[in-house]
Structure 1
Amino acid sequence: MAEHELKQIISQLEKPSNLQQAPKLLSRAKLGLLHLQALVPSSNTSPQHLLLATTVLEHGALLSIRLKDTEAFTRYYQQLQPFYSLPQGRWQRAGKPGNQSKVTGLYLLLLLSVGDYAGFHTVLEGLEMSSGKEQIEKDELIQYPVRLEQALMEGSYDKVWGETKGERVPSEEFAVFSEVLINTIRSEIASCSERAYPSLPISNAKNLLFLDSEGAVIQFAQARGWVAKDGRIYFPQQEAEMLAAEKDVMSSSNTVIENTLGYARKLETIV
């Protein structure tokens, strides 16, 4: 495949209407990079071909997010690392990759959404070493997941919720992972609520779980096996544990009563 054909494929990938065709276009583009010996950077790869390769791989990463294919996104992120680690001099006048911050910020957000805090800090520390801490602190696409991680560590779920809404989300790709992150937090809150309360008013559960309506609360409750009735959410697990505890208390009380009666009978016999 000639270089101009590869550029034509890239222009097609940039059209939003080609989302479903993107996997096939990306496969063709990667074959073209193989033909140009540019899919993996080497000392002989020209700056122009380096830029073509990173453009294709970055498109692949971002399109994977829009298709909600996190495994494919992770593969593209890993393929991009040899390009991102190249020294500035290798790019010359071709220009550096245009979406490095976005792809890296998205990967940090992915790590947060699956609870991989160790991996998150490893990537962040690597960025600070390679680019400098001051530069990273100025990069909004990196600072967005950093703010979310700080709020999570503080247990400030309301801050996380605020960051995932409206204009605070840097782009539509970030919104995909933000939704996953909120679902993870919602599940954690639900698990804690099951252990802490026998029941909750639906109105309170709506605020606690960051849901938009009481109808959404009822749907969420049904999915978790909770019972919604009379304006409240009842947690079957908690009720079962309470009934078991009451049964144990009654059993212990009966034993004490039987022992006391037996002792009294023995006293009567002695007398």
Structure 2
Amino acid sequence: MAENELKQIVSQLDSLKANNLSEAPKLLSRAKLALLNLNALVPTEKTQPQHLALAASVLEYGALISIRLQDTDAFTRYFQQLQPFYFLPSDRSPSRRQSNQGKVTGLYLLLLLSVGDYAGFHTVLEGLEASSGKEQIEKDDFIQYPVRLEQALMEGSYDKVWGETKGERVPSEEFGVFSEVLVNTIRSEIASCSERAYPSLPISNAKNLLFLDSEGAVIQFAQSRGWVAKEGRIYFPQQEEEMLAAQKDVMSSSNVVIENTLGYARKLETIV
């Protein structure tokens, strides 16, 4: 009974449209309850192979739906729950043809990149290479997408990252969610560097530098960071304040030097 109900729920999850995901959490809860009744939510030696396949499917749907709902915490939990299924012996693991392991793992790698967890990224990647083989990983488009992004980030080639996050280079709709988060992270890093390097920038230059689509978007971004936009330029208040402080320090030092020099001159006059 539980197995038939589970198959029906999986079929319903499969038919859910992007604009009708509000039903997904309830379906997933029912599915996990059915898996518990089948002792299949966590794989054991006694779990039947067909139940392992159903469990992996439910958890993968949960992971992918969590991405579409932009719930990264839920996605991370589903990814962690899937690991025992992905590392089962080949004679008990779900069919590779039916598995979304590459997609789910690629999304998790992209999540790690988007939050700057490079150590975690390489730990997961090394685990994949050890379990599946480097050659197999290199053939997986879902895995290679975050790998290319990480390489571009290490090179500081932000234009390559920007190019990879656009259009047909994104391997699936779910990857677009984290790709946008990653671009925002990079944009913030570039903005912080610009604040320290320049007193101001032309808005047209800032648009290209920050990978923004219009000058209006530049002004909106500038306002969010407390920058000042006027007369076709972006001014960085922090840089101006630091420059004024430096000028004051120079002036103060100059005054000390002048006072000391005058003092020496007076002493010389007294001696003469």
Q: Common fold, TM-score beyond 0.5?
A: yes
Instruction: After TM superposition, give the deviation of residue 98 of structure 1 in Å.
Output: 2.1
Cα displacement string for residues 64-84 of structure 1 (whole angstroms, at most 9, x for unaligned residues): 100111111010000000000
Question: What letter matches 1:156 in structure 2?
Answer: S
Cα distance in structure 2, aligned partners of 1:157 and 1:246: 34
Aligned to 1:38: 40
Cα displacement string for residues 92-118 of structure 1 (whole angstroms, at most 9, x for unaligned residues): xx7344211100110111111111111
Cα displacement string for residues 170-220 of structure 1 (whole angstroms, at most 9, x for unaligned residues): 011100010011111111111111111111111111111111111111111
Number of matched residues? Answer: 269
Gaps of 5+ in 2: none
Aligned to 2:23: 21
Instruction: After TM superposition, give the deviation of residue 21 of structure 1 in Å.
Output: 1.7
Q: Confirm or deny that 1:66 pairs with 2:68.
A: yes
Cα distance in structure 1, aligned partners of 2:103 and 2:32: 21
**Where do residues 59-208 of structure 1 align in structure 2 (5 Å cutoff)?**
59-91=61-93, 95-96=95-96, 97-208=98-209
Question: What letter matches 1:85 in structure 2?
Answer: F
Which range is displaced more, 123-132 or 8-17?
8-17
3-state SS in 2 of match to 1:3: helix
Contact in 2 for aligned 1:12/1:18 (Cα 8 Å) = no
Q: Confirm or deny that 1:5 pairs with 2:5.
A: yes
Cα distance in structure 1, aligned partners of 2:52 and 2:202: 58
Question: What letter matches 1:71 in structure 2?
Answer: D
Aligned to 1:264: 265
Cα RMSD (Å) of the superposition?
Answer: 1.3
Aligned to 2:214: 213
Question: What letter matches 1:79 in structure 2?
Answer: Q
Cα distance in structure 1, aligned partners of 2:128 and 2:262: 76
3-state SS in 1 of match to 2:45: coil
Which range is displaced more, 216-225 or 250-259?
250-259
Cα distance in structure 1, aligned partners of 2:20 and 2:246: 60
Which range is displaced more, 157-166 or 117-126?
117-126
TM-score (norm 2): 0.95
3-state SS in 2 of match to 1:115: coil
Question: What letter matches 2:233 in structure 1?
Answer: R
TM-score (norm 1): 0.96
Which range is displaced more, 156-165 or 94-103?
94-103
Which range is displaced more, 261-270 or 53-62?
261-270
Q: Percent identity?
A: 84
Cα displacement string for residues 148-184 of structure 1 (whole angstroms, at most 9, x for unaligned residues): 0111111100000000000000011100010011111
Cα distance in structure 2, aligned partners of 1:158 and 1:95: 38
